[in-house]
Amino acid sequence: MQNETRNIAIVWDFDKTLTPQDSTTEIIRHLYSDPINGDFEEVFWAQMKALCGLDSKDNWEKILASEAPTWMHTLATMADVKDIALEKDFFKDQAGLVKLFPNAVELLKKLKDLSNDPEFNKHKLEISHFIVSAGLKEYIDEIVPAGVVRGTWGCRYKGTKKDKDGKDVVVNVPVFCMDQTMKTRALFEISKGVFLQKAEAVNSRVKEDQLWCSFENLIYIGDGPTDVPALSLTRDRGGYGIVVYNPEGDSKKIKARLNQMSSESRCDAIVPADYSSGSDLDKVISARCHQILEKYKAQDFSKN
């Protein structure tokens, strides 16, 4: 048997997956609290879509569009005006605006604790959770209790500088823009264990038997079309993809989205975002973890 730990990575999207809300939208509401124009967030996202040319009739504009830098720049401008640095201290104060799905933390801990099962322990299998989101990393880290996930990937800002008079002036600069394509880069970083090394290592070629976590041991959970590249990459390389949906959402939109995901074979399972013990989500993730365990049991048996 190998001495090295064998890792299982359970990778979660955040907005509409671990929470029924959109965390970035909650920050937009907070920065632009207007009792008269209470739906500003809808105007904000509509403007971002227009600026990116996502509703353009010219196909070339759609190809060149990148929404993340656009909304991050606009959000930064809104915060600059109010002298707010979009960093840890601010996000800590706003953490209460976003609630996780009921029992989400408990289920993540339960799955992680499979590592302590005698059989998992015997075959040196360790389970870790990660979050890969197009939302704001520092905000997500304040919402999810410490110690539940091993790492979070998301959009990030850096703040303050001094003006010519030496006075601190808040200038929020987007330093990392996460979108649906960049999520695939995050999966490669997790697979290679880049979070334990230097970031440049993501471009280094790593032999399959030297990966921190092979894609076959990776489980990706998301809620819809923006997760398609990550789901596709995971499944193409032997991993497992799960789509969750909020049963309390708009039933017509949910049905259309799930029909599309199912007909295009974008995932291995579609289940409600029910995080209670014994739910379909609990069962399907646990079953996949045990399937990975059985693979290593067979491998170790053949070596004896």
DSSP-assigned states of every residue in 256-285: HHHHHHHHTT--SEEEE---STTSHHHHHH
**Residue 128: its H or E element:** strand 125-136
| C-alpha to C-alpha distance for 68 and 52, rounded to whole angstroms | 9
From the list 189, 190, 186, 191, the residue with the least C-alpha distance to 214 is 191
Q: For the whole model, what pTM was predicted?
A: 0.90
Q: Does pLDDT of 35 surpass 80?
A: no
Joined tokens for residue 167: 């006075």
| C-alpha to C-alpha distance for 124 and 4, rounded to whole angstroms | 7
pLDDT at 202: 57
SS3 track for 143-155: HCCCCCCCEEEEE
* CA 124 from centroid of its chain's CA atoms: 26
In the chain, alpha helices (H): 23-31, 40-51, 59-64, 67-81, 88-94, 104-112, 118-122, 137-143, 182-192, 228-236, 251-263, 280-303
65-120 confidence digits (pLDDT tens): 678 999 999 999 999 989 899 999 999 999 999 999 999 999 999 999 999 999 99
pLDDT at 3: 44
> In the chain, what are the domains?
6-303 (3.40.50.1000)
Least confident of 45-49, 209-213, 241-245: 45-49
Average pLDDT over residues 148-159: 95
